[in-house]
Chains A and B, each alone.
Chain A
């Protein structure tokens, strides 16, 4: 098990000191696929590099299976790492690239060959054994770099945006493959990405980062359904925000009034952090967050009125971009094919499934 405690990294001297990673703590279990997700520049790579030992932590600790890794040099951590740029050795053949990590481990010559070939086969690379990396496609290079990281049976696998250089279709294909290989090897994996869809699709659990801090940690679906902040709500999936006035509040739940939309009982209430409080407009005291699939379109009577700005056919579903008086910005609603369809410019009534919504309120003034 990997345990990271209060890990901090600062760059530069005081006048323009930058806290790239700010007291991050997390645990990753054996065999788990764990993702660090966040916008670019939020400190994911720096965290990963500290775990790898490529960057020295300013403070905090990194433990693996009860052993303190914080000051262990990278070459003795027994880690596998996959870089965004692949970082394959351009002058070495595929075989030599993959076998690279076996040599410093004093593996006998015959065993180097057999183990390398075994991993090459597992990644369907045996045909390219003697080629130079530059002669391979992006996806193949990526597989070589995974093979190189796995061949010496590391205790964990670190991947820093490994799919960023691939085109969209290959990206989806490769992420499934990475997941398959990870399961096959049963290896604790730490994956970094800024792509929330990718993170949702392959992670057992994910940690959401913002500005150097770990802001939320959990299973993808839990973070999606129960975002702990506006940032989390908006970064993971689409978030529709509606102005709300709180009528009544009891432990963990609230009854709110929506402009032109009547009363709703929301089972989940989250207090906003200081930075996000300003997002609540003056004429409201809370924001109601509804996912696109938690909203329904229907006749106007008795519902919140809205107007269709754009209708997008996504194949399986229809997506509507809607303007509504109650909304902060535009709303996105997804409706099944079977539901009635609306054209652009049409007026519609909006309903929501309050069970699936989250209410963000201003913190109690105290």
Chain B
């Protein structure tokens, strides 16, 4: 969380104050400080997280998992997933139970954490609308047939639009949608756990509480989370109705929307191929990261160099623009024979003509353009007066570069890196075709064997990766932007 501080005395002040209440000086521009304040919900979430973390290394969490007659912890299970006798695991449901708890806890925590800003954006309302339509409309058609379904859908749409209108007019659209969504998410996971638990424990002959305390623990944790959320939100009668609506929505949505998604579908595919997805995601990240490192190491110096040589600038920018227009398949195709000829001349046994090396090189070439261009433009756009002042005071060209030009262009260079990374993750999908591995494998295999779940799982995980990388790099961009540049004039 960020709080406003006075630039003079560095003490906390209200965000829109015109003068500091501590040092009485007028405030030209507010500065911000990152703080972590322990509110009640934060503490409960922390408590839940600790329980989950401990439980993860306990042999009895979230149920009785026996391996060669000995109970093992989820952690060990994940480590040894390949060696385990698949049959005993009662399908992979148990695995899903393990994964979904920490993942959803983190997700929920982030949602709570982003509460204030989420309530101001349209995102929760749109998402809520989509979810309710996607889950409830099919449900209507199923229970009431065509005409009934259309009628009920119309009524439902009318209701939800009326609800949006009312909450918008009272300025609570963001709040209300966010609240309902939160209930929905918590409850869905809760019911999911219950479902899995039922399936799993039905097959056990005797249920001993002592052997299944992990299972009850997860329930307890989730119960606490849901309870906290409800308590920290519910203050008026209106909130009570909101909650009722949230509960109803989650029950219906779960049965029509979530459950099928997890039982068979991309999520089920994820759970079933957990370790494979993890390995390929790591490969994907590795390829993109190495390519990026190469591109930065060559692109930034090149970008700096061409600011001093206009002829070279034209040539380099021209070539890198051409590079980026080459279709990725063709690019990978070019790489292979070129690298194979190196293989031949070296008489290499395990060649570099196929696999990760050509993929990395091709991605590095693609990443060059945004990095070179952004470096070039950023350096060119540094205020000439700043440079002249530096030069006139006797800074060497190297000092100018390190102390002025690079820090001042860091945000723009970083924007180039972000473009390159997102593009690299997408193009990396093609790398699977030349045997480099990566998440593209799920797409290519899925296409060959026409298993949609695999394709969707591959595509979704790649977009997730891209989004996460972008968020991370945005943060990095923020870190490396000099504080003096963040001040709006």
Q: Do A and B bind each other?
A: no
Which residues of chain A have a CB within 8 Å of any CB of chain B? none
Query: Interface on B for A, CB 8 Å cutoff?
Result: none
